[in-house]
Amino acid sequence: MLAALIFWLLFLSIDVLKKNIFAVEDTRYLLSFYFFGFLLWFCITFPLFHFFQKSQKSPPLLRFVFLLLIGPIAGSVKVILSWTSFYLTIGLHDRGVPLFAFIIKQGSFHFVEATIIAWVVLILFFLSELYIKYRNKSLEAAELESQLIQAQLETLKMQLHPHFLFNAHNTISMLIRTKKYDQAIDMTSSLSDLLRATLNSGEKHFIELKDEIELMKKFLDIELIRFEDTLDVSIKISSDCDNALVPNLILQPIVENSFKHGISKHLGKSQLKIEAKRSGNRLIVDVFNTGPKVKRNFDMDKDQGIGIKNINARLKQSYQEDYTFNLINSNNGVICIVEIPWSEKD
């Protein structure tokens, strides 16, 4: 729309120069025809833009035909209105010249001109639409990109989190002190595996569920060595879900929350359960942890936790509104349920 307004300003200035309007002395012509005509064009731009936007929903060919037709229509409307007003102000009706004949006589050249002007305006609309589309596309791509990087950063942060990393190092040194060298070596290599896997998690926005789980397992392996006597982890992925596509690193913030808000606050034996199954054309992933329940007045959309915010933002970016993400209380803990459209690597 802005583009159209700028166009009209330009059009006006060029036209004024071209026709050397300042030299015209007939003020009636200037006022009633020239400026009124221009004002008409200006006003017609709005309905034109309205119809142009409406046509966005129709298929391209139909839209093309529609826009092609709307050009002469807009042109005719303009010409008829402006010549009628000219006819009236000049006072031709007093001289017995029939309106219809006058318009036809004056009009034929002007019809073509007006139609072409309307088309130019439409083409202008189309170009700006293309530009906006292109800009949104690249914004979206940039958004996706930054979310993936964000997720990678969060994953790395979780692994480099002092509590995790220093405790893991402490475990290793305690294993060495108590001469459990094999376990110390296992744990050192698990730690490296985990960091390596995160660093290699790549630029893909979607990865197969089995790869996502593989990375999660590396993290859980370390927690399991640390809490062998209190932590129980079970992962049940039904075999048809192995190749299902999920947003890269989507599980990480969920599992991190399970530890942060659940297991780390739970006295005694803790459990973490990850399950995935297919239901029709949906993929459902559940993560259960023992621990305190979510608050009665908990509102996912208002939650300020960085983890939940990021998960929601990424799911929305990837699936628009076509997903669910919920936290519900269950027996002695909380289940996080993510449901997304089923898609598979071909």
Residues forming contacts to another protein in the complex (CB under 8 A) are 162-163, 166-167, 169-175, 177-178, 180, 183, 225-230, 263-270, 290-293, 296, 331-332
Nearest Cα residue to 287 out of 277, 272, 299, 271: 272
Residues across the chain: 346
Nearer Cβ to another protein (128/188) = 188
Per DSSP, the three-state class of 24 is coil
Do strands 245-247 and 282-290 pair parallel, antiparallel, or not at all (unpaired)? unpaired
Please state the closest distance from residue 124 (CB atom) to another protein, in A.
59
Nearer Cβ to another protein (173/192) = 173
Per DSSP, the three-state class of 266 is coil
Q: Which positions ≥6 away from 43 have C-beta within 8 Å?
A: none
Nearer Cβ to another protein (106/183) = 183
Q: Is 19 left (phi over 0), alpha (psi -120 to 50) or beta?
A: alpha
Nearer Cβ to another protein (107/333) = 333
Please state the closest distance from residue 191 (CB atom) to another protein, in A.
13
Pure H helices in 58-161: 60-90, 99-160
* DSSP 8-state secondary structure symbol assigned to residue 248: T
Please state the closest distance from residue 262 (CB atom) to another protein, in A.
9
Nearer Cβ to another protein (244/294) = 294
Rounded distance between C-alpha atoms, residue 309 and residue 305, angstroms? 6
- What sign results for the dihedral spanned by CA atoms 254, 255, 260, 266? positive
Rounded distance between C-alpha atoms, residue 43 and residue 37, angstroms? 10
Please state the closest distance from residue 177 (CB atom) to another protein, in A.
5
206: its two tokens: 């979607």
Please state the closest distance from residue 301 (CB atom) to another protein, in A.
22
Please state the closest distance from residue 197 (CB atom) to another protein, in A.
23
Nearer Cβ to another protein (138/170) = 170
